[in-house]
Every structure is written in structure tokens, then in C-alpha cells.
Amino acid sequence: MHDLFTRIKQAITDDLQEMTDKEKQSSPVSLLNKYLRECEGEVKKAAKLIERQKLLKVEFHKEWKQSEEMAEKRKQQGAIALEAGAEDLAEIALREQAQYEERAERLKQSYEHSVDQLAELEHKYEEMQLKLKDMHVKRLELMGQENMVMMKNKMNKVLKEAEFGAAAENIETIGMSFEREEKNANDEYQISIFDARIQQLAKDMNKEDLAK
């Protein structure tokens, strides 16, 4: 009997837990929590993109300045070659100077473009962070509303006369169950006492017969 009650209790507990889990999954706060986690993931991705863009900006600037230095170097070397009458070397120096100048100009534009992109990304990132903070505030507000609704529903349930009647009926049923168990225990006790007394009488009678 005890095992049966235990299994019934566990089954009811499991059903209630399943219902609670479903309610949590469908509640506005749970849905908002899920959306918040997704947004937090996107914010982290945006932060990584910004760091990557910063590295690109630094790399573009480095390559741009190196190309400018090489263009200036070839310019000076070309002038030395012309002055020395080494026209073939001067021609090579001037050709490479033009190539480095063209490359430097292209890298300069890429650098400036990366600066603009970084500024835009940082602005968007700030907007995302502000939006995320607003959502956290909204989450707290919804949690307060949800708690209030749950509390009111529970209080209304307790205050309903029908619920009091059901609770009283359940208590009465439990009381009757205890009374039955107590009666069964008393009956078994009385039977045991009766058997013991009969057994003792039989022993006493047997002793008297032996004494005769």
C-alpha cells in the first residue's frame, strides 16, 4: 500500500513539473530571456568584428606608410642614378617609384575607408548595448508583472469557496483513511491478544492434566 501511494505521489509530482516547465517555456519572461540570450550573443559577435576592424585599420596604415617610404626611397635613388649617368638604374627606380606611389594612394583610401567603417561599427555597437540595457529593464518589469499575476491567481484560487470545499473533502478523505488503518491495526491487535490468551489457557489446562 505504501509503495502504491509513493508511485501515485511521484506520478502527480512529475505531471505538475511537466506542466510547470511548459508554462515557463511559454511565459513572456521566458521568451524574453531567450531573446535576450540571442541578442547578447550578437553583441559579442559585434565586439569581435570591431576588434577585427581595428586590426585592419592598423594594418592598412602600416602598409600605406611603408609604401610612401619606399616611393620616396626610389625617388632619391632615381635622382642619384641620373646624376651618376646610370640611366637604366634611374629608369627602374622611377618605375618602382610610380608603383609605390600608386600603391600608397590605394592603401591610403583603404585606410580612410576602414576608419569610416570602424566609426560606423562602434556607433552600431553602442546602439546595440543601449537596446540590450533597455531589454534588461523590460525583463525586470515583466518579471514583476508575472509575479503579481501568479500571486493573484494563487490567492484567488485559495479564496474560492469551491477550492475550500475540495480541500476539506481531501482532508476528510485522508482522515477516513487513517481511521480505517487504525481500526485494522486495533483489530489485528485484538486478534493477537485473543490467540495469546487461548494459547495460555491451553497450556494451563495441559499442566493441570499432567499434575493429576
Give one word for 85, left, alpha or beta, with left for phi > 0 and alpha for psi -120 to 50: left
Contact (Cβ atoms closer than 8 angstroms) between residue 67 and residue 107? yes
- Sorted by where each begins, the domain ranges of the chain are 9-159, 160-212
For 114, other C-beta atoms within 10 Å of its C-beta total 19
Residue 17 has what pLDDT? 54
Segments in the chain below pLDDT 50: 1-2, 4-5, 8-9, 12, 16, 19
Q: Model confidence over 105-146: pLDDT tens digits?
A: 999 999 999 999 999 999 999 998 898 888 888 888 888 887
pTM reported for the whole predicted model: 0.54
Residue 211 has what pLDDT? 60
End-to-end Cα spacing for the chain: 52
